[in-house]
Amino acid sequence: MIINHPLLGPRDASEFTYLGDASLLMRPNSDDIDAYHDYIHLRDNPDGLHRELWFHEQGDRSWLVITRNTATHEITKVELARKT
Amino acid sequence: MKKNMRIKGGMIDRKRPLDFTFNGRKYAGFAGDTLASALLANDIHLVGRSFKYHRPRGIFTANSAEPNALITIGTGAHQNPNSLATTAELYNGMVCHSQNHLGSLGFDLLAFNDFLAPFLGAGFYYKTFMWPASFWEKFYEPMIRRAAGLGALSGLDDPSHYDKGHRHTDVLVIGGGVAGLRAGLLAGRAKLKVIIADEDFHFGGQLLTTQGEIDGKSYKEWLQTTLAELASMDNVTLMPRTTIFGTYDHGIYGALERRRDHLPPEAQPQGVRQIMWKIMAKSAILASGASERPIAFSDNDRPGIMLASASLAYAQRFGVATGKRITLMTNNDSGIDSAIALHAKGVNVDAVIDSRGRAESHHRLPKSVRLIPQGQIVGTSGRKRIKSITLQSGARIPTDCLAVAGGWSPNLQLTCHQRGRPIWDANLAAFLPPNQLPQGMLLAGAVRGDMSTQACLNSATQAATTAIKTLGKTPPKSATPTAENRPYTIKPLWSMKGGKNRQFVDLQNDVTAKDIAQAHQEGYSSVEHLKRYTTLGMATDQGRSSNLIGLALLAEASGKTIPETGTTMFRPPYTPVPIGAFAGRHRGRHFRPTRLTPSHRWAAGRGASFVEAGAWLRAEWYPHKHETHWRQSVDREVIATRAAVGVCDVSTLGKIDIQGRDATQFINFVYANAFAKLPVGKVRYGLMLRDDGFVMDDGTTARMSDTHYIMTTTTANAVSVFRHLEFCRQCLRPDLDVQLISTTDQYAQYAIAGPNARRLLTRIIDDSTAITNDAMPFMGCAEISICGGIPARLFRISFSGELAYELAVARNYGDALIRHLMELGKPDGITPYGVEALGVMRIEKGHPAGNELNGQTSAHHLGLGRMLASNKDYIGKAMASRHELTRTDGVRLVGLIPLDRPNSIGDSIGAGAHILPINSGNSAKDDAGWVSSVAYSPMLGSSIALAFVEAGDQRHGEEMRAYDPLRAQDIRVRLTSPHFFDPEGSRLHG
């Protein structure tokens, strides 16, 4: 796969490590144990568009939010996580 | 008797004869020959035995779809089993052997399998070798592997070099036949960056094996002109001997370039044999052509039976007649054309059998060729070479080569590697590529069903024009060349009924028409099930010549149409790729990088024993000459450190430099314990949790200034902690002004531990007042300079429990520093210690390390529950308070001391042992915990261990058992505090 890095342009996917569902960005309040349970344990696993976190570990160390179709690997959007 | 089957012409160089041996016998060929063409030139058709029945088999194709002619080429370490004779370029001195026979190729003892055939049908293994179960491993499997095999590996290290690389291009043209070359030429003229790859060693595809004209020039002349123009363009790269084996996401193609397979073995180590390329192409023009397929009939697998296109290729390209009286069987016009072309080359085509009635193309057949319309073959004779054919009329035709033309199947594999499903075309009786092609892919030529040279040229022009326009260039003005444009008609025929014997569908895996019918009868009527049950299309050729016939026969058996039956999923690779090419240079020690510590050279010079810690090599102990057991070295290092001073390279610990106005806030967020009030010049132990509440890592963090911290991590987690911190910074707290950088590789860091540690430091520090106990108490830190102005950092931290420091200098000073310390420290009794002594000392002190921080333990389990801050938010806070992680009867870290004979090595506690009550059974219900770390403590004179035991903190003094069924040990132990040595910590503060 090729990931179109917002700062660096197209980069090979092998430069990145994968984390998973971008819902991890929405960390709930630590006091809300139920919300935290969902945050930690419940993930959608869609057949289709999926917002997910990738880390440019062999690059500029940006965390990216990538919208990717899990069925076709088509990438429709790449954003810097810190700007979302 | 050697026979010479050479005829005039061909692309071989008759001035360059080459010698080779096949099964020990010497033969001759020419430069430009493949092994197959050279064998056929010597009238050798029998080249191997079939996989299952050990039937004699001959050369079947003239390309990479070959199912039969699998040969072992080379000997010793250069031995390459399962090489295709049909693609292997002949070189001088080539040594080849046939495969899969016991005894000689001519008399194979395992051929008795052929007579057992009635019992060896589809699903035979599944049904037969079931009982008794114990027979499988010892008897059935070895027997089957012995009997049903391909070539053998040498078992020696491969001396060839392999490499990997990336290429970027505007247009990748896959296949260098007429369509590929035409498309590449136009793209090249439009000044696009072009790669044209072809698996063959000559470009030209079908132009090499047939005769015709383009724009009034012979194929040969057109090829020469076109290739010369392509070679003259700087923006065009021609890659012969290169197979594009897979289509991947976003225009990435896998390519295998065979650079030296055509050279003798002695030339192999002098260069790279094969390169695995990852080609990034903005656009790809697939011009992979089509493959001819056979028709099944009774006894259709004899040597001398081959595809009509192969027979013609050997005559046209290699100047070899595949027989003295050839019979040709066809169901389409291409077969008629092959017969005409063979005849034109002076090859004796005795008869043409056309399963159709009269066809228009028959008029073009020469008068001397006997035409048998509506003919059907019901049998053949000749065990090691075909001798005759029997028709359904009963007529026998003597022959020494039967050329079969069953129609053409487009080579559409690369269009379907991303779940594409091909589309049935009834006119061509073949599958065509799907409408939805992989990103950026265009089609040209026979792969899209173009069956004439003219049609290929037209679609190539169109594909190139589309690619050029898409990439923003102007298509060059050029009239599409004119060429032969005969119609192609076919009347599908998959198998000829009426014979008595087996009809082989998949020649390589010995799958017969009967197997397919039987599989259907037994309920395997999905094509994917059929494939797995019968192994149809699962051999090294992936059923390129057989799949469609198999599908058609399944469709017939199930009363469905072929498109209803569908195809199996296509997956890379298109042709087999050696594992060596996937590995590239990453072999043996080079599989991954080895990281060396700054003191490595010095340690190696002292004879240190090294241990792998992640990618690092670390000194585990430094043996003295008289020491015969590692325990002697480790015990000595521990005792010497605790008595005087020891030094240990701890550079492998992760180091993260954290700076920014909000650095304090950030660190306070990522650590579970309080950090907000750490003063400048102080270090604190930090406990890091995962968001699920379990412990992720621990380390120390030093505050160098208001806005500057240095964090350490464990060696193992250096990378993952840094990644985690970047996640926290960018994804969770982008509001904070803080920056991170890993400095693990930039600093050499030594632990200097023991009562004499300060005295030793005084000898190198420029300002010795900086390290008095008042200036730098326990957990102090400072930027200092040593040895007359070399900047350094000093941290008064202790993993050993001694008066200890960690001294960090720029990495390049690391080697000099260790040598200098060892020299200056002689009066202080300095001893280097390795990671084993480091481990012993930390176990004596009850410090958790990797074995305790295994991702399944919480702060409470580790006895660190009180460290968790209650007055701040931090990663892991919510989930760390869960009942299971905090319950008071949950496991707690304890120390263990054996009760009996504690000095005996045999009674040392084993890591991983279970902790059980004294009077219980040995079952899981009594299991109260596990042993995580073990050591022999020279200070206590006893084996000691750290363990997690249920409510262990409340059970100090209790006797239990360390039960280890793997080591057959059952040791009585007493639970203690994990702080075995100097529990008051008085030595730290000295």
Q: What is the pLDDT of residues B454-484, one digit of tens each?
A: 999 999 999 999 999 999 999 999 899 999 9
The pLDDT confidence band at residue B721, using thresholds 50, 70 and 90, is: very high
Residue B147 pLDDT level (bands cut at 50, 70, 90): low
CA distance B36 to B87: 8
Listed as own residue / partner, the contacts of B19-28 with beta carbons closer than 8 Å and 24 or more positions apart are B19/B92, B19/B93, B20/B90, B20/B91, B20/B92, B20/B93, B20/B94, B20/B95, B20/B96, B21/B94, B21/B95, B21/B96, B22/B47, B22/B96, B22/B97, B22/B98, B23/B96, B23/B97, B23/B98, B23/B104, B23/B105, B27/B2
Residue B756 tokens, joined: 């004499």
Encode pLDDT of B330-340 as tens digits.
Answer: 999 999 999 99
Q: How confident is the model at residue B103, as a pLDDT? A: 76
What do you get for the CA distance between the two ends of chain B, in Å?
Answer: 96
Q: What percent of chain A has pLDDT over 90?
A: 98
What mean pLDDT comes out for the span B867-892? 96
Confidence check: pLDDT of B903 > 80: no
Which SS3 state, helix, strand or coil, does residue B26 take? strand
Task: Answer yes or no: are the C-beta atoms of B552 and B561 closer than 8 Å.
Answer: no
Instruction: Give the model's confidence band at B568: pLDDT under 50 very low, under 70 low, under 90 confident, else very high.
Output: confident
Q: Within an 8 Å CB–CB cutoff, is residue A7 touching chain B? A: no
Beta strands in A22-81 (DSSP E): 49-55, 63-69, 75-80
Q: What burial class does residue B170 get, using C-beta atoms within 10 Å of its C-beta: 0-12 exposed, 13-18 middle, 19+ buried?
A: buried
Nearest to A55 among B691, B726, B878 (CB): B726
pLDDT given for residue A54 in this prediction: 98
Which token pair is B339? 């017969």
Task: Confirm or reject contact between B395 and chain A (CB < 8 A).
Answer: no
Q: At residue B182, does pLDDT exceed 80?
A: yes
Q: Which domains does chain A have, with CATH numbers?
A: 2-83 (3.30.2270.10)
* Residue A45 forms contact with B (CB below 8 Å): no
Residue B906: pLDDT above 60? no
Predicted confidence band of residue B443 (pLDDT cuts 50, 70, 90): very high
B125 touches A: beta carbon within 8 Å:
no
With an 8 Å Cβ cutoff, are B691 and A57 in contact?
no
Contacting residues of B for A24, CB less than 8 Å apart: 731
Q: Are B311 and B322 in contact (CB under 8 A)?
A: yes
Give the residue-averaged pLDDT of B280-291: 98
- Give me the mean pLDDT over the B725-748 stretch: 97
Place of tokens 């019968």: B534
d(CA B990, CA B987): 5
**Residue B18: predicted pLDDT:** 97
What is the reported pLDDT for B902?
Answer: 52
Please tell me the predicted confidence (pLDDT) of residue B464: 98
Q: How far apart are CA B39 and CA B44, in angstroms?
A: 5
- Contact (CB<8Å) A55/B252: no
Q: Which residues of chain B lie closer than 8 angstroms to A33, CB-CB? A: 878, 881
Note the ipTM here.
0.98
Residue (of B843, B954, B838, B841) closest to B891 by Cα position: B954
Neighbour tally for B941: CB within 10 Å: 10
- Residue B558 tokens read as 């199930």
B164, B170, B249, best to mutate vs chain A, most A CBs in 10 Å: B249
Contacts of B727 in chain A (CB under 8 A): 19, 53, 55, 63
The band of B755, judged by pLDDT with boundaries at 50, 70 and 90, is very high
Neighbours of B507 (CB within 10 A): 25
Beta partners for residue B95, in sequence order? B21
A2 touching B (Cβ < 8 Å): yes
Beta-strand relationship, B708-713 and B645-649? unpaired
Residue B148 confidence (pLDDT) above 60:
no
Domains with residue ranges and CATH for chain B: 13-119 (3.10.20.440), 161-290+410-470 (3.50.50.60), 502-575 (1.10.10), 598-652+746-841 (3.30.1360.120), 654-742 (3.30.70.1400), 888-990 (2.40.30.110)
pLDDT for B107: 77
Query: Which residues from chain B sit within 8 angstroms of residue A74, using beta carbons?
Result: 439
Residue A50 Cα, gap to closest chain B Cα (Å): 16
- Which pLDDT band holds residue B131 (cuts at 50, 70, 90)? low
Cβ contact (<8 Å) for B723 and A17?
Answer: yes
A32 touches chain B (CB under 8 A): yes
Phi-psi label, residue B254: left if phi above 0, alpha if psi -120 to 50, beta otherwise? beta
The average pLDDT across B610-621 equals: 96
- Inform me whether the pLDDT recorded for B494 exceeds 70: yes
B107 contacts: CB under 8 Å, gap ≥ 6: none
Selecting from B726, B729, B731 the residue whose C-beta is nearest the C-beta of A24 gives B731
A1 inside 8 A of chain B by CB: yes
Asked whether residue B398 carries a pLDDT value surpassing 90, the answer given is yes
Phi, psi of B505 (to 5 degrees): -95, -60
Report how far Cα B505 is from the mean position of its chain's Cα atoms.
Answer: 31
For B693-707, what is the mean pLDDT?
97
B691 neighbourhood in chain A, CB within 8 Å = 27, 39-40
pLDDT of residue B128: 61
pLDDT at B134: 67
Query: Which residues does chain A have within 8 Å of residue B278's beta carbon, measured at their own beta carbons?
Result: 12
Would you call A63 an interface residue with chain B, using a CB distance cutoff of 8 Å?
yes
pLDDT category of residue B263 using cuts at 50, 70 and 90: very high
A2/B250 touch (CB, cutoff 8 Å), yes or no: yes
Looking at the predicted structure, is the pLDDT value of residue B905 above 60? no
Nearest C-alpha in A relative to B733: A82
| Residue B632 in this model has a pLDDT that exceeds 90 | yes
Tokens of A46: 């869609």
Residue the block writes with tokens 């002619």? B69
The partner residue sitting opposite A63, judged by closest CB among B251, B726, B879, is B726
Locate the chain A residue with the closest alpha carbon to B253: A1
pLDDT of residue B108: 75
Most B CBs within 10 A among A63, A65, A74, hence the mutation to make, goes to A63
The token pair at B549 is 């016939």
**Best mutation target, B250, B282, B669, to test chain A (most A CBs within 10 A):** B250
Express as a percent the part of chain B with pLDDT over 70.
96
From A1, A36, A63, residue closest to B879, measured CB to CB: A36
Q: Are B178 and B206 in contact (CB under 8 A)?
A: yes
Is B723–A82 a contact, with Cβ atoms under 8 angstroms apart?
Answer: no
State mean pLDDT over B96-103.
Answer: 85
Q: Taking 60 as the threshold, does the pLDDT of residue B349 lie above it? A: yes
* B449 close to A (CB below 8 A): no
From chain A, pick out residues whose CB is under 8 angstroms from the CB of B249: 1-2, 73
Query: Which region among B19-28, B106-115, B168-177, B363-372 has the lowest average model confidence (pLDDT)?
Result: B106-115
Q: pLDDT over 90 for what percent of chain B?
A: 88
pLDDT the model gives residue B136: 63
DSSP B381-445: E-SSS--EEEETTS-EEE-SEEEEE--EEE--GGGSTTS---EEETTTTEEE--SSPSTTEEE-G
- B743 at A interface, C-beta within 8 A: no
- The verdict on a CB contact (< 8 Å) between A25 and B878 is no
Residue B878 to residue A53, Cβ atoms within 8 A: no
